[in-house]
Amino acid sequence: MNVLDDSIVWHDDGHVIWLEINRSDLAVLGVQCPNKDDPDSPCRLSRIQCLVEYFIMRFGLECNVGVCEPTPELQIAWSVNGDPHDIDACQCWVIPITDDVFSLWARTQRGETNEMDEDDAALS
């Protein structure tokens, strides 16, 4: 899914962050990119196999803009600001797809606003 919001495109394409959880400490163990075999994937660049993996492994959870309960396997959506072909002049942001605000926003962008579940009803 690609969702456009004021020129920022969020990609919810199956990227996963693997975390080690030790009480209040979180460590990134790795990133699973579902597009490594797709040369046309927006996360794939000529000199970097996966933009998302590159940023998360380099900057860790500093790339995260969302909130959720940490789990060892965390599916994320991602976006890039700037020219991804100039890796030093762009920024990759990730957000857990389970982030309450993001997941509600994403469903409205897909036209799923008529199907409120009990959690959504509690938020309104």
Number of compact structural domains in the chain: 1
- Number of Cβ atoms within 10 Å of the Cβ of 75: 15
**Per-residue confidence (pLDDT) for residue 66, from 0 to 100:** 94
pLDDT of residue 68: 93
pLDDT for position 97 = 95
**CA 107, CA 115: separation in Å to the nearest integer?**
9
Q: Tell whether 122 is covered by a domain.
A: no
For residue 49, being part of any structural domain is answered with yes
How many whole angstroms separate alpha carbon 42 and alpha carbon 57?
Answer: 18
Domain residues for 54? 2-112
- Does the residue 119 lie in any domain? no
| Within a domain: 121 | no
- Residue 102 CB-density burial (10 A; 0-12 exposed, 13-18 middle, 19+ buried): buried
Let me know if residue 85 belongs to a domain.
Answer: yes
DSSP structural state of residue 83: -
> 122, 123, 102, 104: which is closest to 112 by C-alpha?
104
User: Which sign, positive or negative, has the C-alpha torsion 97, 102, 104, 105?
Assistant: negative
Per-residue pLDDT of the chain (124 residues; tens, 9 = 90+): 454 445 688 999 999 999 999 988 999 999 999 998 898 899 998 788 899 999 999 999 999 999 999 999 999 999 999 888 888 889 999 999 999 999 998 888 888 765 555 555 444 4
